[in-house]
Amino acid sequence: MKSSLAPGIRLITSFSRDTGFRYFTLFLTFLFYTAYHLSRKPISIVKSQLHRNCSNVIQPSGLNITNNDTWCDWAPFDKENYQTLFGVLDNCFLVAYAIGMFISGMFGERLPLRYYLTVGMLSSGLFTALFGLGFYWNIHSLGYYAFIQVMNGLMQTTGWPAVVACVGNWFGKGKRGFIMGVWNSHTSVGNILGSLIAGIFVSSAWGMSFIVPGLIIASTGVLCFFFLVEKPEDVNCGLPQHHSDVESSETQPLLHNSPAVDRTINGSIINEPPEIVEEHAEAISFCGALRIPGVVEFSLCLLFAKLVSYTFLYWLPLYISNVAHFEAKQAGDMSTLFDAGGIVGGILAGLVSDYTGGRATTCFIMLVGAAPMLFVYNSIGQRSLGTTIGMLLLCGGLVNGPYALITTAVSADLGTHESLRGNSRALSTVTAIIDGTGSIGAALGPLLAGLISPTGWNNVFYMLISADVLACLFLFRLVYKEAQGWCRRVPRD
């Protein structure tokens, strides 16, 4: 009796060569950006350790304590304006990231992405580790930590345009929302892993909370150098279909050989060889990218959506610690629930937008739902453990769902828009414009939280709700346009 083929072998052989490379690239870029976010998270976990309530800390025997209120804090964050100083650190990173992002996309189109990502991850690993070495070198200078944050912010801009460009090169439009919704969970996975890794060391030696993530992202940089394939044509794989069949005759990759053309001349049929058309290889200009329909609206929407998301990223552990009175590690672990909700929200947003074809409408509905949920979370979110868990998961899904959809599927759609007529090199610039604009909001959110939080956490949440409403308003024209398209497709009696 002949045995059947082993299930594992059947699975392997069911993948074509093109499919194998495609999903290998998806896995690698997922791993790379997980490492990027993993290295950003420790600062939010360590904040509650740099400034603690020293009256609840056991004093070491033999220690000559001159100030009972701040003896356990790490200078210069032992002052009353510590929240403002934390805001300064956040903004050194985020402002540098926002400025660098607009430049990074242009470099990403003009340099080999494999080298660009490798240098970016190695450099980011170096500066992340240098922040943690401040603990072992006993550095108490705000200028040192601010400089490290600025440099790390600039190095981190190498990641997003490059990985989105790689994925956009390999995947067409068919199920892009779902695929990139699953793929974009690297953001939340990185935040969760970064929180857990930082939480292991935060109470004993907070410097390791930065050094270990720094080593991880540097290691993935080495992996990138040896294994990343930027484009299908580099390994003789087929190119993805970026547009619908109606558009494909105008927008299909121009390097593909066209079939021979039969022409009739003086009654005779002449078979002509295909005309070779060179790919439009010029990188798109900044203004040219802005003229792509939808780029401005989605960019401005992301500005306010990312403001809300990054305020939670940098301040949620401290909020939980202050309001619910958790220890630093417990607050960090609890904050991962927001990111877990973000994974589900991103996948759900991708699925719905693929099914309906309404990227803007999907974002709009989730943002409309997020505003009241933020109010409810601040009002009753800390009443019980079950309520806290449920509200964090729900808020994470509603806040991060639109953010995930815009930075992935929407960016890839616009970067391969039919108006570009086959110029795939616009993808990195379009991605950088959208995410760079969003990064301005990411810088403003933690800064405003640092300035407003001394007046009460309620005011911080009012600010977040206002930003959510503004994000909805910038999508209104696109939502109306999508609704018109659906109405035209409805058959009439």
In a domain, 248, yes or no: no
Answer whether residue 11 is part of any domain: no
Residue 433 sits in a domain of what CATH number? 1.20.1250.20
| Residue 254 and residue 424 in contact, taking contact as beta carbons nearer than 8 Å | no
Cα distances (angstroms) measured from residue 69 to each of 53, 103, 413, 454: 7, 45, 54, 18
| CB-based contact 256:40 (threshold 8 Å) | no
Q: Quick check: is 246 in a domain?
A: no
Within a domain: 277: no
Domain that holds residue 227: 16-54+75-240+285-485
Backbone angles phi, psi at 114, to 5 degrees: -65, -45
As a whole number, the mean pLDDT across the chain is 80
Q: What is the pLDDT of residues 346-368, one digit of tens each?
A: 889 888 888 888 889 999 999 99
> Are the CB atoms for 217 and 135 separated by under 8 Å?
no
Per-residue pLDDT reduced to its tens digit, 409-430: 787 777 666 655 545 556 667 7
Return all residues near 380 (Cβ < 8 A) that are at least 6 apart: 387, 391
pLDDT, tens only, 142-189: 999 999 999 999 999 999 888 888 887 887 655 666 777 788 888 888
Q: For residues 328 and 481, what is the distance between their CA atoms, to the nearest angstrom?
A: 47
How far is the CA of 490 from the CAs of 221, 247, 381, 477, 486, in angstroms?
50, 22, 43, 20, 7
Whether 261 is in a domain gets the answer no
Return d(Cα 107, Cα 105) in angstroms, integer.
5
What is the phi/psi pair of residue 382, to 5°?
-110, 15
Residue 278 · residue 254 · CB < 8 Å? yes
What are the DSSP calls for 147-189, one per residue?
HHHHHHHHHHTTHHHHHHHHHHHH--STTHHHHHHHHTHHHHH
- For residue 211, being part of any structural domain is answered with yes
pTM over 0.95: no
| DSSP state, residue 348 | H
Q: Does residue 208 or residue 315 have the better pLDDT?
A: 208
Q: Which of 412, 415, 396 is nearest to 346 (CA)?
A: 396
How far apart, in whole angstroms, are the C-alpha atoms of residue 208 and residue 471? 38
258-286 pLDDT, tens digit per residue, is 344 444 444 444 444 443 333 444 556 66
Residue 173 lies in a domain: yes
Q: How many domains does the chain have?
A: 1
Mark residue 474 as left, alpha or beta (left: phi above 0; alpha: psi -120 to 50; beta: remaining).
alpha
> Does residue 426 lie in a domain region?
yes
pLDDT grade, residue 12 (50/70/90)?
low
Other Cβ atoms within 10 Å of 335 Cβ, number: 28
Kind and range of the H or E run holding 349? helix 328-356
